[in-house]
């Protein structure tokens, strides 16, 4: 039995770090486990321009714990009125790494998202030319589409034409939740890749709804069936270059989760890399954790892999139940809080 594994330092290719007090509360967890992270732009108001992204990056860097070498990789929130020249300038200057497409109203703070793909044609054409990745929240939220079919519908009706219209555009379909999406990504690699969250590898709609309603497991896209979960585990642990790590850690204050209208999002940063390690261990595929967590993402983005290493060891520890946001009264509940977790980070290696 393997009790220790050393891998290149991992990256999180999809995280919500928020802003202000919430940023200060949650950033240390991501920075403790990941060398870099793709930071989602769905703040209120959203991060739309290069200037917005540069300012947000500064706020993240100022909120980092002393001595941290964590690097935030910034994204711009695509809107119908996004200026292609601004996106190109942001990418050229290194402020922007990617652009995020939320279909309008698809999820938290997506009200200003794209209403019609035709309206962002010029931006996508420019990104295609530049080699700048497009990140997609892939759900069709039309009222007649059942919530459990939103991803499959988006993939078939919206993503397939997009891939055809922009054959040179590198795309990441984020937080895969279905077997349909897994198969679709595989069939369209390497143009298309997909990220997979820890909670979509563990939870199903049964665990979310089948034994009392668990608001802390509610996210977008919602967790699906056991067959979908198994397909996601197979994909993540396959070593295939088109699947890589993106936690979609998405904190909300407890009051917004325990509310008549529960906010979507799972705050998994405190247990993310440890949960992935557990899944790979259970699958007998710890040898492929490095590809998923540290190699496949940089390859898709055309970025170097990290120089440092991280060692994970088999050792029980208790996951924190929550994190305090600016004083004890506002808290954010953590995924798997209070559970005994069988893997943990031993130490972060120095760059070679």
Enumerate binding residues for Zn ion (CB under 5 A): 248
Kindly give, in sequence order, each residue whose CB lies less than 8 Å from that of residue 287, ignoring residues fewer than 6 positions away.
none
197: contact with ligand DOR by CB under 6 A: no
Nearer to ligand DOR, 123 or 219 (CB): 219
Q: Within 266-325, which residues bind ligand DOR (CB under 6 A)?
A: none
The total of other beta-carbon atoms located within 10 Å of residue 238's CB is: 17
CA atoms within a 13 Å half-sphere pointing along the CA-CB vector of 187:
11
Nearest to 11 by CA among 272, 287, 188, 239: 272
The Cα–Cα gap between 305 and 300 comes to 11
Nearer to ligand DOR, 237 or 247 (CB): 247
Nearer to Zn ion, 178 or 309 (CB): 178
204: contact with ligand DOR by CB under 6 A: no
The sign of the dihedral angle between the CA atoms of 83, 89, 91, 96 is negative
Residue 270's binding partner among ligand DOR, Zn ion, none (Cβ under 5 to 8 angstroms by kind) is none
Span from 49-57, 101-109, 112-120, 290-298 in contact with ligand DOR (CB under 6 A): 101-109
| Residue selected from 219, 232, 279, 289 as contacting ligand DOR according to rule CB under 6 A | 219
x-or-dash string of contact with ligand DOR, 137-176, rule CB under 6 A? x---------------------------------------
x-or-dash string of contact with ligand DOR, 225-264, rule CB under 6 A? -------------------------x-------------x
The Cα–Cα gap between 98 and 159 comes to 17
CB of 219 to ligand DOR, least distance (A): 3
Task: Please tell me which residue in 248, 287, 316, 322 is annotated as part of the active site.
Answer: 248
- Phi and psi torsions of 270, nearest 5°: -65, -20
Q: Which residue is nearest to Zn ion (CB)?
A: 248
Catalytic site residue 248? Answer: yes
CB of 156 to ligand DOR, least distance (A): 20
- Find out whether 96 and 50 touch, Cβ atoms under 8 Å: yes
What does the angle CA 43 – CA 324 – CA 221 come to, to the nearest 5 degrees?
A: 45
Q: Within 25-44, which residues bind ligand DOR (CB under 6 A)?
A: 42
Kindly give, in sequence order, each residue whose CB lies less than 8 Å from that of residue 210, ignoring residues fewer than 6 positions away.
none
7: contact with ligand DOR by CB under 6 A: no
The Cα–Cα gap between 246 and 195 comes to 5
16: contact with ligand DOR by CB under 6 A: yes
Q: Which helix (H) or strand (E) holds 132?
A: none
Give the footprint of ligand DOR on this chain (CB under 6 A). 16, 42, 107-109, 137, 219-220, 250, 264-265
């Amino acid at each position: 039995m393997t009790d220790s594994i050393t891998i290149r330092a991992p990256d999180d290719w999809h995280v919500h770090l928020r802003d202000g007090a919430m940023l200060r509360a949650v950033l240390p967890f991501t920075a403790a486990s990941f060398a870099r992270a793709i930071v989602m732009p769905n703040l209120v108001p959203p991060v739309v321009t290069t200037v917005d992204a540069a300012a947000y990056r500064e706020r993240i860097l100022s909120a980092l714990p002393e001595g941290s070498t964590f690097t935030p990789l910034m994204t711009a929130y695509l809107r119908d009125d996004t200026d292609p020249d601004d996106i190109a300038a942001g990418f050229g200057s290194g402020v922007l790494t990617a652009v995020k497409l939320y279909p309008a109203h698809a999820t938290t703070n997506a009200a200003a998202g794209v209403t019609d793909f035709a309206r962002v044609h010029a931006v996508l054409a420019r990104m295609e030319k530049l080699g700048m990745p497009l990140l997609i929240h892939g759900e069709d939220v039309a009222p007649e589409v059942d919530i459990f079919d939103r991803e499959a519908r988006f993939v078939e009706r919206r993503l397939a034409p997009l891939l055809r219209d922009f054959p040179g555009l590198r795309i990441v379909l984020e937080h895969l939740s279905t077997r349909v999406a897994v198969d679709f990504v595989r069939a369209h690699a390497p143009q298309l890749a997909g990220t997979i969250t820890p909670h979509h590898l563990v939870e199903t709609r049964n665990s979310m709804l089948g034994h009392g309603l668990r608001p802390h497991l509610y996210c977008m896209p919602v967790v699906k069936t056991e067959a979908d979960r198994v397909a996601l585990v197979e994909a993540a642990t396959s070593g295939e270059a088109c699947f890589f790590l993106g936690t979609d850690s998405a904190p909300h204050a407890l009051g917004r989760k325990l509310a008549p209208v529960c906010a979507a999002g799972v705050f998994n940063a405190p247990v993310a890399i440890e949960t992935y390690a557990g899944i790979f261990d259970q699958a007998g595929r710890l040898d492929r954790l490095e590809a998923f967590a540290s190699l496949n993402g940089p390859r898709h983005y055309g970025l170097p892999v990290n120089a440092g290493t991280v060692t994970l060891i088999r050792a029980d520890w208790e996951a924190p139940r929550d994190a305090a946001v600016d004083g004890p009264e506002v808290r954010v509940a953590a995924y798997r809080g209070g559970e005994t977790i069988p893997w943990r980070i031993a130490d972060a290696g120095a760059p070679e």
